[in-house]
Amino acid sequence: MTELRHRGAKDEEPTLEQQASEDKGSDSELKAEKDGMSDTESKPDTGVPEVPVPADDTPEVLNKALSGLSSRWKNWWVRGILTLAMISFFFLIIYLGPIVLMMIVLIVQIKCFQEIITIGYSVYHSYHLPWFRTLSWYFLLCVNYFFYGETVTDYFFTLVQREEPLRILSKYHRFISFALYLTGFCMFVLSLVKKHYRLQFYMFGWTHVTLLIVVTQSHLIIHNLFEGMIWFIVPISSVICNDIMAYMFGFFFGRTPLIKLSPKKTWEGFIGGLFATIVFCALLAYVMAGYRYFVCPVEFNNDLNSFQVDCEPSELFQLQDYALPSVLQSLTGWSTVKLYPFQIHSIALSSFASIVGPFGGFFASGFKRAFKIKDFANTIPGHGGIMDRFDCQYLMATFVNVYIASFIRGPNPTKVIQQLMALRTDQQLHIFNALKVHLIEKGLLPALEEIIA
């Protein structure tokens, strides 16, 4: 029990002395409420519990190196160093390939889930309901099992068909996932304890909303990744770039506040970030679209039993001529310009990241203000928790997934074949004839008689 408290937030005892008036430790607050309230049933459900502020987590080595500077500069240096460390780490894992990326996404997802659930526990003082932690992690496992099963079935189709146990798991996948979820649901109902109903329902709701937000989005990221690593790298880079650029522009030119929720954001930062991000993304897209490693869908090669990222790049990633509008023509003296169509898409993606992405950040700021926490956790020194870094990414991941599905790719051919083979034979015949008619109309098939021959 105590180890979970320590993992998310440091001891309350030191903070009690520091911030006695604002952030009370959960123990002292419980006592205050015992005196104040006579209604015994409402005791576990407190009014305005304060989440203890996490203590400083900076590694010793950094602390020593920066001991000379004043605390403000020290904070910036720590943030700067950690920013560079995270960006280098990002490049490293891109280099290492899709499997590593998937694992990193999974780890980030688990950490975000843990951070948010820990906040829930602190808010509702539900440490003494041990079932609840088990159930929350169990639900996380169920939902992940469901999503990974769907992804694995789609992309590793031939591998799955080969192995007998995998085939059965894949055929009845939804049923098995549902049964697992139901078990968790029944355990929840059986675990309801008389005086803590409301608490338990709150934690149930909290867990489900967290799963909805964190887990589904991380699976959308993995789907995007399989489309081609460029669909993973460019969106994430746009959001990071927008963060940094908006901060820089705000720092140098910032004057008009943007929104009451986040008083540090300014309109100048917002607009400057928008333009800078669009330019950055167009350049990044240009650089990346030339490499097959980034552009090709990730496929699993059954013979080699490994991932391969090799293909004929689709027309999105082939240079095309675009006629410049006459204004730009007179300015630059070029009549046409060679662009990748993907760069046009990247403009749409970066605009979204700069205009709508920050709303994810405001949502997280509002959340932190609502529950009076400064940061989600203290995992990254100077920056806060993983959730703090990834709050804008979630909307972006969903947007990219919807964008790809609507504007870029059609259905997945392997999946269509799969479904086709699962149909009854009369239905297959019917589809065969319809397809034949369609292809002949399009001129892709020679006339009827020649096929039968």
CB of 437 to other proteins, least distance (A): 11
Using CB under 8 A as the binding rule, whether residue 166 contacts other proteins is answered as no
- Rounded-to-integer distance, Cα 83 and Cα 28, Å: 37
CA atoms within 13 A on the CB side of 270: 19
Q: Which of 182, 188, 186, 187 has the alpha carbon at shortest distance from 203?
A: 188
Using CB under 8 A as the binding rule, whether residue 402 contacts other proteins is answered as yes
The amino acid at 233: I
Residues from 329 through 358 that contact other proteins (CB under 8 A) = 356
C-beta separation of 112 from 387 below 8 A: yes
Position among 4, 30, 33, 148 found at the interface with other proteins (CB under 8 A) = 33
Using CB under 8 A as the binding rule, whether residue 411 contacts other proteins is answered as yes
Helix (H, G, I), strand (E, B) or coil at 212: helix
Using CB under 8 A as the binding rule, whether residue 20 contacts other proteins is answered as no
Using CB under 8 A as the binding rule, whether residue 367 contacts other proteins is answered as yes
Using CB under 8 A as the binding rule, whether residue 451 contacts other proteins is answered as yes
- Rounded-to-integer distance, Cα 129 and Cα 185, Å: 16
Residues from 246 through 275 that contact other proteins (CB under 8 A) = 259-261
Candidate segments 52-60, 156-164, 198-206, 230-238, binder of other proteins by CB under 8 A:
198-206
Position among 19, 344, 398, 408 found at the interface with other proteins (CB under 8 A) = 398
Candidate segments 152-160, 268-276, 341-349, 394-402, binder of other proteins by CB under 8 A:
394-402
For other proteins, the closer CB: 95 or 175: 175
Residue 384 DSSP symbol: B
Candidate segments 53-61, 89-97, 175-183, 247-255, binder of other proteins by CB under 8 A:
175-183
The amino acid at 373: I
Using CB under 8 A as the binding rule, whether residue 41 contacts other proteins is answered as yes
Position among 20, 209, 311, 448 found at the interface with other proteins (CB under 8 A) = 209
Q: Which of 372, 371, 390 has the alpha carbon at shortest distance from 380?
A: 390
Using CB under 8 A as the binding rule, whether residue 192 contacts other proteins is answered as yes
For other proteins, the closer CB: 361 or 384: 361
C-beta separation of 236 from 393 below 8 A: yes
Number of residues that bind other proteins (CB under 8 A): 83
Q: Which of 271, 148, 282 has the alpha carbon at shortest distance from 221?
A: 148
Alpha carbon separation from 423 to 157, 172, 309, 387, 416 (Å, rounded) = 17, 16, 31, 44, 11
Position among 168, 287, 417, 448 found at the interface with other proteins (CB under 8 A) = 417
Candidate segments 235-243, 298-306, 335-343, 432-440, binder of other proteins by CB under 8 A:
432-440
Position among 45, 150, 154, 375 found at the interface with other proteins (CB under 8 A) = 45
CA 123-12-117 angle, 5° bins: 30
Using CB under 8 A as the binding rule, whether residue 212 contacts other proteins is answered as yes
Candidate segments 162-170, 181-189, 218-226, 265-273, binder of other proteins by CB under 8 A:
181-189
Position among 1, 61, 70, 190 found at the interface with other proteins (CB under 8 A) = 190
Residues from 91 through 150 that contact other proteins (CB under 8 A) = none
Give the list of residues 6+ apart from residue 286 with CB closer than 8 angstroms, or none. Answer: 339, 340, 343
For other proteins, the closer CB: 37 or 99: 37
Using CB under 8 A as the binding rule, whether residue 165 contacts other proteins is answered as no
Per-residue contact flags (x/-) with other proteins for residues 54 to 93, judged by CB under 8 A:
----------------------------------------
CB of 201 to other proteins, least distance (A): 5
CB of 356 to other proteins, least distance (A): 6
C-beta separation of 241 from 90 below 8 A: no
- Rounded-to-integer distance, Cα 152 and Cα 223, Å: 11
- Rounded-to-integer distance, Cα 200 and Cα 124, Å: 9
In the numeric block, which tokens belong to residue 271?
């607009």
For other proteins, the closer CB: 79 or 150: 150
Residue 246 DSSP symbol: H
Using CB under 8 A as the binding rule, whether residue 447 contacts other proteins is answered as no
